[in-house]
Amino acid sequence: MNFKESKFSIVDVETTGGVSIGRMTEICIITVINMEIVDVYQSLINPETPIPGHITALTGISDEMVYDAPKFHEIAEIIETKMRDSIFVAHNVNFDFGFLKKEFEIIGEKFLKEKLCTVRLSRKLIPGLPSYSLSKLCRSVGIELNGAHRAEADTRATTILFLNLLKLDSESEYEVLKKYLNKSSVKTALPTNLPTKDFEKLPNTPGIYIFKDQGGKIIYVGKDKNIKKKVLTHFYSKSQKVINICNETHALDFEETGNELCALLLEADYISQNDPKFNQTQKKPTSVYQIISYENQLGVLQLALHKAKVSNNSVQTLFSTALATETLTKLCEKFNLCPKYCSLQVTKGSCSHSKIKNCLGICSQKEDVATYNERVKQALYNVQNEQQSYTIVEKGRSSSETCVILIENGEYQGFGFIDNENVIEHFEGFKDYVKQYNNNFFTSKILSAYLHKNSKSLKIIKADTTRVN
């Protein structure tokens, strides 16, 4: 192939989000033939869906700007004509190509092109740069980029970059371009330093995936229902953080869990144990809520919610205002407590809560303090002794096994897998199959949310069960 005389379509699109849920809001196509720019096409596009605020803040494209813009199907023929018989070029090519393929599929047409990625070409032809994001790469090689995150500005910068790469590769008769043009789209997307075999071994099952640097140190841990599919989305991303992760990634690893709950728990454990540099969200515990009691001026034991910061908690810890309020409300109803003295209602007179109607009259002096306080003590005792031992039953890694998550005295112990043919005679037998993991703030939070969300469909085996199949 004579690359010098080839037709290239250098493309950039702006969108409302990622390929899976987003739509295009702008496109620019610059046509290059004989190493010269021969055409520039740019258009806003009505995405037929609201543009999120953070996207408008990034690109400057608002709902008002695209209101009268053409919809994709109205300019699809123009786009197809502009790119006919050309090689598709973009910075992180699978992102832009993925959107055009999706938009053409929506209108019932196919979009097939040979592709080249200027990120991957740059890593090979201009090695050793601190970043290969478009803006930082352009700054490193002296290309002017004004108005980043708008299609025409980004496309013009990508075009200059691509022409420079063509010149660099011409010295070896376009050896690099030939190599990457013939690769599959997946292989083209892989980070330069990542062995293809590391990606190919990833399963399409639930679990965690692990990015490692050149020295084998874990730099990022993630989880998903489909490990391979999720990892691939990282390679297609234009996020600066993800680009930085890919630049430092030299190896991939994974662990299958069979279900999403254990993937969440395992991810939290890996982050806690390894402190990966690119995992930030789980490093600092957030506030939790605790039910406290105190004696008020009337001698009545009063309950309230206390907001606190902790690092380790049982699965009964309350991690949101709504859940904490709901828990206290149920306690109030169960033990005929007064919503006024449970801090669920602020009033000077007797309680008149919209939901809790079974107060026995402590707030209107119809019940003596000692009797009421005894029920409060019973309620607190109930809370303190609700820390049960049980296992949560979930899907295993195959149809022939079951996953069990072990909770003892309200605290997470770990999880493991049991062959379906095995019979557990006593609850203690689960420990033989469970791998121990640390209980921390985030594993507690994960289990609390899971138990609350799945309260009606939970499959639980309690400690007093004598035989489990």
In the prediction, which pLDDT does 385 show?
64
Helices (H), 254-320: 260-274
Sheet holding 218-224, edge to edge: 218-224, 207-212, 251-256
Q: Tell me, what's the pLDDT at 172? A: 87
- The pLDDT score that the predictor gives to residue 396 is 95
User: Cα 131 from chain centroid?
Assistant: 23
CA distances from 373 to 5, 119, 328 (A): 89, 69, 16
Residues 6+ apart with CB under 8 A from 318: 288, 289, 290, 291, 305, 324, 327, 448
Report d(CA 336, CA 2) in Å as an integer.
85
What does pTM read for this prediction? 0.59
pLDDT tens-digit map of 182-232: 666 566 677 878 888 999 999 999 999 999 999 999 999 999 999 999 998
The number of residues making up the chain comes to 469
Q: pLDDT at position 468, please?
A: 47
pLDDT at 280: 79
| Amino acid present at 348 | K
- Which helix or strand (DSSP H or E) is residue 157 part of? helix 151-170
What local confidence, expressed as pLDDT, does residue 270 receive?
95
Per-residue confidence (pLDDT) for residue 178, from 0 to 100: 86
Q: Are 282 and 444 in contact (CB under 8 A)?
A: no
Neighbours of 119 (CB within 10 A): 27
Q: What is the pLDDT of residue 469?
A: 44
pLDDT at position 467: 45
Low-confidence ranges of the chain (pLDDT < 50): 311-316, 466-469
Full DSSP string of 208-263? EEEEE-TTS-EEEEEEESSHHHHHHHHHH---HHHHHHHHH--EEEEEE-SSHHHH
State the amino acid at position 412 in one-letter form.
Y
Beta bridge partners of 199: none
The CA distance from 76 to 157, in Å, is 24
Instruction: Find the radius of gyration of the CA atoms of the chain.
Output: 30
Q: For residues 289 and 307, is the Cβ–Cβ distance under 8 A?
A: yes
Per DSSP, what are the bridge partners of residue 404?
393, 416
244's tokens = 């930085």
